[in-house]
Amino acid sequence: MKKILFCAALLVSTLTFSQDNGYFFGGFESNSQWLLDDEGLNFEAPEDQFRANNYFKLDYTLGKITAGVQYESYIPSALLGYAPIYDGENGIGTYYLNFKTETIDITGGYFYEQFGSGLLLRSWEERQLGINSALKGIRVKFTPLDYLDITGVYGNQRIGFEVSDGTVQGVDANINLSTALNIESFDLDFGASYVGRYQSTGTNDTIPSTVNAYGGRLNFVVGDFYGGIEGNIKDPDVIANEGQLSSNKLYDGTSMQVDLGYARKGLGINATFRRLENFSFYSDRLAEGNIYNQQLINYTPALTKQQDYMLTNIYVYNAQPRLIIESFDQRSGEVGTQLDLYYKFKKDTWFGKYRTKIAVNFSYWAGLDAEYNIENRWYKAEFIGKGPRLYRDYSIEVKNRWNKDWSTVATFQNTIVDEGIVHGGPLGTQGDIQASIFVAEGTRKFDGGKSVRIVAQHLWTNEDRENWAAGVLEYNFNSRLAVYAADSWNYGGEEEIHYYSFGGSYSKGRTRFAMNYGRQRGGLICVGGVCRFVPENTGFTANLTVTF
């Protein structure tokens, strides 16, 4: 109730300064689920069969002032697979008041921020994953010169409708050296960041109350070439597992990311190298390793190609920055690379007259090559070495537009992934899964905005659940109304199982409604390289989105 009164007072105080030239904006999003028993999946619907996540966001801006509030409801329970801290809860999730000029930008309340690539700090919201890591406190950004900005943050991280015990503080500075030095031949940016977490240690005086992390980065653009390097270090800290300290022993952490690329009309090449060693950073030291991505201060997504199809998303990679020293599971981080090549054929070539585009991707990720001593709880990791392979993937995608009505996409992907990544649990002990996937997609447009889209997919593997076949048929009556039918058939395992789905969507103006019925395949669901596990289930789902 106090939060609601505070937010009401916040908006009223803002409106007090109104000269009838401010405006409201925001949106409403509702995601509902009705779970049903399904003997074919051995799924028994829980008592709270109906579940819903609802969000209502309202913002008001007037000149240099903006205020906002977000109300959320998870009644009677949050959607299946979301953090249980949301179940049965509702109320004000976030609120803020912002004042902004050309040189100063101040936010009080809840805010989102990212330093550099996010390896040290990223607070963000992703409703599909059940992540909202907003900081509650104050954020100040100062831009005294057109080539210099400095940002400071201080606050506690959101956990459901509460905030973390740990307090997060940080400073980030960016300077464009080319502008500062009046250099026109190339563009050069330098950035530096500091992030710290303070958390009471109670009666345990052998562990630190404050853990700091520091980093720097350099980015450049020279003609058609671009690149950057970022390096970070984290002070010694304890490691935890399943809400318990592994010991009082302290371990530091490091991270490094290097990006290089070349881009011109019709051609793009990008390469990324990243190494993470014990680089999980949480606002609560005991939150390390939770499966719901709650209380994460930093951002370490999987750097692999983000696939769009049902079967190409079965065997995905989840980044492994953690340190674990146990007899059954030993890991200290990851090291790997991703390469991308994009090419568009010229129109005067044989391929070009069909407007052909080709995208090639390769990624390889391994655990760090390390020696572990369980008795004394220490480890030593090589910078690269020959650590155990966790994931290897290569793919090629060919897009053709044959004429104004016909377009096709053909994709081939070959993947090797550690089974512990796919199903959770120790790494390097369950074996590898190797799979090849082929996808063919065709879209035909008709007069009046009508179109039909057909997708055929097949996955070959001798491991795990063996072979899959899948298909999608989608018909658009116009730009507003669409229906679809889809099925993923796991026919190679001990039991043949169909994961079918039927549904459609209707859009008008700023409103969209979608509904479907079917089975959800269990496993990792990923958005932008960040994943969560979802159990298999069957039922109806509905989504309503309104913006204004």
Q: What CATH number has the domain bearing residue 146?
A: 2.40.160
In this prediction, residue 543 carries a pLDDT of: 98
Phi and psi at 178, nearest 5°, equal -65, -45
Residue 477: inside a domain? yes
Which pLDDT value is given to residue 429? 84
User: Torsion angle, CA of 179/181/187/190, rounded to 10 degrees?
Assistant: -90
Residue 339 lies in a domain: no
**In this structure, are 496 and 430 located in the same domain?**
yes
Check whether residue 427 and residue 508 sit in a common domain.
yes
Point out which residues pair with 473 in neighbouring strands.
Answer: 454, 485
Same domain, 503 and 545: yes
Asked whether residue 95 is domain-assigned, the answer is: yes
Q: Can you tell me the distance from the alpha carbon of 61 to that of 14, in angstroms, rounded to the nearest whole number? A: 8
Residue whose tokens read 């996409």: 409
Residues 138 and 252 reside in one and the same domain = yes
Q: How far is CA 181 from the centre of its chain?
A: 37
Q: What is the largest CA-CA distance in the chain?
A: 75
Q: How far apart are CA 272 and CA 256, in angstroms?
A: 11
CA-angle at 272, arms to 266 and 274, nearest 5°: 170
Of 78, 99, 120, the one marking the end of a domain is 99
Q: Are 56 and 88 members of one domain?
A: yes
Task: Note down pLDDT in tens along the chain; length 548 residues.
Answer: 455 445 544 554 544 444 467 999 999 999 999 999 999 999 999 999 999 999 999 999 999 999 999 999 999 999 999 999 999 999 999 999 999 999 999 999 999 999 999 999 999 999 999 999 999 999 999 999 999 999 999 999 999 999 999 999 999 999 999 999 999 999 999 999 999 999 999 999 999 999 999 999 999 999 999 999 999 999 999 999 878 998 999 999 999 999 999 999 999 999 999 999 999 999 999 999 899 999 999 999 999 999 889 999 999 999 999 999 988 899 999 999 999 999 999 877 767 667 799 999 999 999 999 999 999 999 999 999 999 999 999 999 999 998 889 999 999 999 999 999 999 889 988 899 999 999 999 999 999 999 999 999 999 999 999 999 999 999 999 999 999 999 999 999 888 999 999 999 999 999 999 999 999 999 988 999 999 899 999 999 999 999 99
Predicted local confidence at residue 20, as pLDDT: 60
Residue 333 maps to a domain: no
- Say whether both 129 and 94 belong to one domain: no
Question: Is position 367 within any domain?
Answer: no
Domain's final residue, options 99, 127, 160: 99
Q: Domain range holding 81?
A: 1-99
Q: Is 325 domain-assigned?
A: no
Q: Could you tell me the two tokens for 380?
A: 């030593």
293 and 207 inside one domain? yes
Q: By the 8 A CB rule, do 172 and 189 touch?
A: no
**Within-domain flag for 323:** no
Same domain, 463 and 533: yes
> Residues 106, 251: one domain?
yes
- The total number of structural domains that make up the chain: 3
For 431, phi then psi, to 5°, come to: 95, 180
Reference 242, options 317, 292, 316, 297; nearest CA is: 292
Q: Are strands 240-241 and 244-245 parallel, antiparallel or unpaired?
A: antiparallel
Coil/strand/helix, residue 448: helix
pLDDT in the model for residue 17: 45
Same-domain check for residues 279 and 144: yes
221/265 same-domain check = yes
Q: Which of 99, 118, 146 is the last residue of a domain?
A: 99
328 within a domain of the structure (yes/no): no
> What's the pTM value of the predicted model, to 2 decimals?
0.92
Tell me, yes or no, whether 206 and 249 share the same domain. Answer: yes
